[in-house]
Structure 1
């Protein structure tokens, strides 16, 4: 009896300590291993903690916006909704996060739950404290009113409860999922007292109450948004924020056409641009401002995973259900010709879903990856085990005869034959026909050679150009045959992969499963990724998924770049260290000394030009003080072109009238062989102006 008492006594003492030993309390967390920054870190290594605050940066965005809520599927969101999260990740680690609204977090060994302790100093912009009630309200709002992709992303959060005045506990719907604490910590926190009497599911042009370093102070729907730094921002001195968010003002201007954005950066209308077009990078920026060093043009290397950009088949369409058809069409895409003739050889062909990282599959499967795939023999192509996957290549001549022959063979196996120079279904007699959905002229020009090549096979392929708003809505509704999508990749993939590839999301409008994939093998691999116990298991499983996706031919991979190509006016500075994820203006700052030098150089140049004009007794050419660009305001050009297009006319006929330096160098302009369309455009402008003035005169307005 006494011995039993002693045993119970010892157990009563040891069990609490055992339970305590099984939990971890920390300032941060990593999915695998330990976070790289210690509890007493003062700032991230890739920022300048002494960066000065001040100045303005003006950036551009293509398209329009009619909402400030990016978490729902209604409307086209613009910048301005600034909720923060409990944790924030670092840009130089694979998968670590540190406290932002949360001061600390605690979790058990199996990560079945996580408790966050909130910072008492955290405040909304109206001064009201951020509370546990806000966190619970945010979880309920996401669960009930957010769009499908956002809902799915946070579906792992099974329960949220208040366990103290400033403590909130999240319970996982998937015990053992190592990503769960970071996923819970990434939940955007909304102000309950602001939203509780509003309908979150509806789009809004009222900038919502936030808690971040910026808030909207001015905007015009579809045109621009001005955000100003919150001077008394509660989190400005936190280690995770030091050296970041340095501009006093950020202005985002919307343009309907990317060519006008190029004009805007060259004319000094905007300050910064990330150039995505290799052809534009190679030939559109030979301007005085760059030659004189006023406008900087730099390639900044990065090491982030590339993800995949490509032509996504909508396998919900009957025409694309057969993988042989999908594979055949891939043989027609001539990347080598397009890269050489349209992109000056500056692009790299994408060959994986997780390229530029250790996650991409190579060669034939082996080791742990092979072990994972073995149980799916008979459910995946046999060639997956014996052949290295290769995207079709050509000699760049523009006539890949071997590829066309291979495409015809595959199409014949799938039941398609050529009759009267048309590729038709041998059972129905209907011609193969589909559309490629795009939202910009630049994208249209890029894929036009592909469409031309498809026509050589008797395929009726067309390009459907729509405005940005319609484009977004059609993608949300899966209303397309083929669409170009760029999916970013994480260095540590997790449950977010469900939204891209699984059967569960294939028919959920607004999800990221653009190809409509429904494959039990892929479903299982995605779940295995989410539950990988260590980095080695994660890498092997992601490689297996990558390989199965490639052999499913759901996407025709396009290309990527291995650097960030940026243009910016020389009045900014940035840290010497670039994180592997790449540069970001969040770490840049306004440099008053550089701006003074820039203004002085421009003023000196203007005086020199005036002196030359006086000496030569010539009439000065029309130029802007900065770049010798046309004196048209890019906003006026953009508005004009947009209205011109609404009339059913082709704005390309006159666009170069504005973007070409006709006023800076008229002799060069009229040496162009295609000057006649410009003359037609000028004549049309004169006629329209005369017609408008006549109508006004008849109405007595002038």
Structure 2
């Protein structure tokens, strides 16, 4: 996106992979919940999230040690116009799907079209920006764009490529559990039992085994995904070594609950993986489509009533710092105090519509650490009074006499289990303001459907943000996404300032201009009071069987994530 790629044209392997890693062995991972689909590219059904990354490939691949750079995968070469108004890919002649059929230009063009029109909503925004797509040679295709957006050439390179002939006479968006999309990646689905497990087998005939991007990665012969009803059962399965590894998101539990016999004997190893990516946003999002959450003063009051310091000390021993903004912990984060220089210049045209604190500086309210949180509750009540809410007969009511009753939608998994405990404490604090908070726990299918149609007041959400934010930000925060079922704009925000900052990011020609736009966006988001932030995950915590190894001396800047475990790990018996 800016400057030159970090790796030379003749690089041997990714910098965080071990090209000498042995192949073989099996790894068992556990998911909480269930699945009723093996197609991760459509909105219908719930598919194991791992399939997109282990069974399918795109024209280009990422190095998780380098933001904003892609390298050829299915494509052997890439060419762009002088202003990136078009991008042309030439496919590798040796590229093959798992059934041995060649990956063709026809497959690529069909994949862009079908994902853009029938695929999951996350793929459709890109397709709207494609003016034309055409074959330009025996193995080449060109996409021409209808918007000034320098990132589109990279996004095009990351779209999954599917096999057109597999779907002849079938409705792609309505596929059954047995309609498993063919891919070209190292793994294929070998076996599954609905709701119980999926077994992935490393394809011995994988076409790309000699590519530099594929040296020292995808080392396990088998990846088995087991599904469990809740996180407690999953952890017991891990203790019995029926699961090869788990991630722990609670620092207090990591400190105090991982001293069981298998850890003491060394059969299970505890690894901490640092990273340098943004905090992202984790917390309880408020649905501004619903009154009274459409009033920023009410949202601000709810944030003041959330006694983070006490909750954090109670549930994590105070070991996990709070998220302070959407890009906190990175160079892309908003700077403290008033907006200055280029950031202020970018926001100034929207000053009339910006909420208090955007230009002046905004910080999350801090409690005194005590259980009662008196000062912040007083401020919360002042804000509620300003918004027209007063306590009558022990309940907070508006001018029409309607009581404030809110529901929080939760689902059981490793993070949500902790969220339930947080909400139990929070509900008692809201009672002191006269607000009734009802926790609704549902199974995964109901949860996904209700979240898809925004049927909640509050819900637990996590946005993992990268060091290379771009077009996906419109899917997260854009006005169009706010009205689109299934989008990630869960709060329903419609902010011209936020959209303008994203578009500035997409047209920036220098890293300095890009950074200013991201910092300005960060201000708009955090001062919008859309989410009650909780703690950040500055370190990845993985408990794993001793025979699972990883390159400890060459960790990627993104730390633990999609491209780390199980991608660069391997099996090595003592």
Contact 1:502/1:526 (8 A) holds in 2: no
* Aligned residue number for residue 645 of structure 1: none
Contact 2:40/2:51 (8 A) holds in 1: no
- Written as runs of structure 1 = structure 2, the 5 A alignment for 1:67-82 is 67-78=37-48, 79-80=50-51, 82=55
Distance 1:155 1:284, change over 3 A: farther
Once residues 125 and 535 of structure 2 are traced to their aligned partners in structure 1, the CA distance between those partners, rounded to angstroms, is 29
Which stretches in structure 1 are left out of the alignment for 5+ residues? 1-30, 595-702
1:384 aligns with 2:361: no
Once residues 101 and 121 of structure 2 are traced to their aligned partners in structure 1, the CA distance between those partners, rounded to angstroms, is 31
- Residues 503-543 of structure 1, C-alpha deviation per residue, up to 9 Å, x if partnerless? 11111001111000112222222222221221111110111
1:443 aligns with 2:419: yes
Please state how far the C-alpha of 1:224 moved relative to its aligned partner. Answer: 0.4
Please state how far the C-alpha of 1:384 moved relative to its aligned partner. Answer: 2.9
Structure (1/2) with the larger helix percentage: 1
Contact 1:154/1:184 (8 A) holds in 2: no
If the length of structure 1 is used for normalisation, what is the TM-score? Answer: 0.78
* Aligned residue number for residue 348 of structure 1: 321
Please state how far the C-alpha of 1:382 moved relative to its aligned partner. Answer: 5.2
Secondary structure, counterpart of 2:76 in structure 1:
strand
Once residues 519 and 468 of structure 2 are traced to their aligned partners in structure 1, the CA distance between those partners, rounded to angstroms, is 12
Please state how far the C-alpha of 1:418 moved relative to its aligned partner. Answer: 0.4
* Aligned residue number for residue 571 of structure 1: 547
CA RMSD of aligned residues (A): 1.3
Secondary structure, counterpart of 1:461 in structure 2:
strand
Once residues 455 and 231 of structure 1 are traced to their aligned partners in structure 2, the CA distance between those partners, rounded to angstroms, is 60
State which structure, 1 or 2, has the greater radius of gyration over its C-alpha atoms.
Answer: 1
* Aligned residue number for residue 249 of structure 1: 222
- Written as runs of structure 1 = structure 2, the 5 A alignment for 1:445-464 is 445-464=421-440
* Aligned residue number for residue 231 of structure 2: 258
Distance 1:98 1:488, change over 3 A: same
Once residues 237 and 226 of structure 1 are traced to their aligned partners in structure 2, the CA distance between those partners, rounded to angstroms, is 24
* Aligned residue number for residue 4 of structure 2: 34
Contact 2:282/2:536 (8 A) holds in 1: yes
Contact 2:29/2:243 (8 A) holds in 1: yes
Contact 1:68/1:203 (8 A) holds in 2: no
1:95 aligns with 2:58: no
Secondary structure, counterpart of 1:190 in structure 2:
coil
Contact 1:258/1:442 (8 A) holds in 2: no
Once residues 130 and 226 of structure 2 are traced to their aligned partners in structure 1, the CA distance between those partners, rounded to angstroms, is 37
Once residues 517 and 295 of structure 1 are traced to their aligned partners in structure 2, the CA distance between those partners, rounded to angstroms, is 45
Q: 2:56 aligns with which of 63, 75, 83?
A: 83
- Residues 255-279 of structure 1, C-alpha deviation per residue, up to 9 Å, x if partnerless? 0110111111111111111112334
Please state how far the C-alpha of 1:280 moved relative to its aligned partner. Answer: 2.7
1:211 aligns with 2:184: yes
Once superposed, which parts of structure 1, at least 4 consecutive aligned residues long, lie more than 4 Å away?
none
* Aligned residue number for residue 280 of structure 1: 253
Once residues 158 and 306 of structure 1 are traced to their aligned partners in structure 2, the CA distance between those partners, rounded to angstroms, is 35
* Aligned residue number for residue 698 of structure 1: none
Number of residue-to-residue matches in the alignment? 560
Q: 2:200 aligns with which of 205, 227, 233?
A: 227
1:294 aligns with 2:271: no
Secondary structure, counterpart of 2:271 in structure 1:
strand
* Aligned residue number for residue 348 of structure 2: 374
Q: Which moved more, 1:121-130 or 1:281-290?
A: 281-290
Contact 2:309/2:367 (8 A) holds in 1: yes
- Residues 18-76 of structure 1, C-alpha deviation per residue, up to 9 Å, x if partnerless? xxxxxxxxxxxxx1111111111111111111111000001100000000112221111
Q: 2:569 aligns with which of 565, 573, 588?
A: 588
- Written as runs of structure 1 = structure 2, the 5 A alignment for 1:553-632 is 553-575=529-551, 576-583=553-560, 584=564, 585-592=566-573, 594=574
Which stretches in structure 2 are left out of the alignment for 5+ residues? none
Q: 1:201 aligns with which of 173, 187, 203?
A: 173
If the length of structure 2 is used for normalisation, what is the TM-score? Answer: 0.95
* Aligned residue number for residue 399 of structure 1: 372
- Residues 415-443 of structure 1, C-alpha deviation per residue, up to 9 Å, x if partnerless? 00001111111x21011001011002443
Please state how far the C-alpha of 1:197 moved relative to its aligned partner. Answer: 2.4
Secondary structure, counterpart of 2:358 in structure 1:
helix
* Aligned residue number for residue 62 of structure 1: 32
Once residues 421 and 266 of structure 1 are traced to their aligned partners in structure 2, the CA distance between those partners, rounded to angstroms, is 48
* Aligned residue number for residue 118 of structure 1: 91
Contact 2:409/2:460 (8 A) holds in 1: yes
Contact 1:154/1:183 (8 A) holds in 2: no
Once residues 516 and 123 of structure 1 are traced to their aligned partners in structure 2, the CA distance between those partners, rounded to angstroms, is 42
* Aligned residue number for residue 186 of structure 1: 158
Contact 2:163/2:183 (8 A) holds in 1: yes
Once residues 281 and 480 of structure 1 are traced to their aligned partners in structure 2, the CA distance between those partners, rounded to angstroms, is 32
Please state how far the C-alpha of 1:284 moved relative to its aligned partner. Answer: 2.5
Secondary structure, counterpart of 1:144 in structure 2:
helix
1:510 aligns with 2:486: yes
* Aligned residue number for residue 48 of structure 1: 18
Contact 2:347/2:497 (8 A) holds in 1: no
Once residues 202 and 448 of structure 1 are traced to their aligned partners in structure 2, the CA distance between those partners, rounded to angstroms, is 39
* Aligned residue number for residue 675 of structure 1: none
- Written as runs of structure 1 = structure 2, the 5 A alignment for 1:536-547 is 536-547=512-523
- Residues 333-390 of structure 1, C-alpha deviation per residue, up to 9 Å, x if partnerless? 111111111111221100101121111112221111111112222221354333x311
Once residues 342 and 316 of structure 1 are traced to their aligned partners in structure 2, the CA distance between those partners, rounded to angstroms, is 31
Once residues 270 and 206 of structure 2 are traced to their aligned partners in structure 1, the CA distance between those partners, rounded to angstroms, is 33
Q: Bigger relative contact order, structure 1 or 2, given CA contacts below 8 A and separation 6+?
A: 2
Once residues 122 and 358 of structure 1 are traced to their aligned partners in structure 2, the CA distance between those partners, rounded to angstroms, is 38
Secondary structure, counterpart of 2:367 in structure 1:
coil
- Residues 628-662 of structure 1, C-alpha deviation per residue, up to 9 Å, x if partnerless? xxxxxxxxxxxxxxxxxxxxxxxxxxxxxxxxxxx
Once residues 539 and 57 of structure 1 are traced to their aligned partners in structure 2, the CA distance between those partners, rounded to angstroms, is 40
Once residues 257 and 280 of structure 1 are traced to their aligned partners in structure 2, the CA distance between those partners, rounded to angstroms, is 17
Contact 1:73/1:476 (8 A) holds in 2: no
Q: 1:412 aligns with which of 385, 393, 410?
A: 385
Once residues 218 and 550 of structure 1 are traced to their aligned partners in structure 2, the CA distance between those partners, rounded to angstroms, is 45
Once residues 130 and 488 of structure 2 are traced to their aligned partners in structure 1, the CA distance between those partners, rounded to angstroms, is 19
- Residues 276-298 of structure 1, C-alpha deviation per residue, up to 9 Å, x if partnerless? 23343233322111111111112
- Residues 442-477 of structure 1, C-alpha deviation per residue, up to 9 Å, x if partnerless? 431232101111111110111010011111111111
- Residues 647-679 of structure 1, C-alpha deviation per residue, up to 9 Å, x if partnerless? xxxxxxxxxxxxxxxxxxxxxxxxxxxxxxxxx
Contact 1:217/1:228 (8 A) holds in 2: yes
Secondary structure, counterpart of 1:396 in structure 2:
coil
- Written as runs of structure 1 = structure 2, the 5 A alignment for 1:153-172 is 153-172=126-145
Secondary structure, counterpart of 1:349 in structure 2:
coil
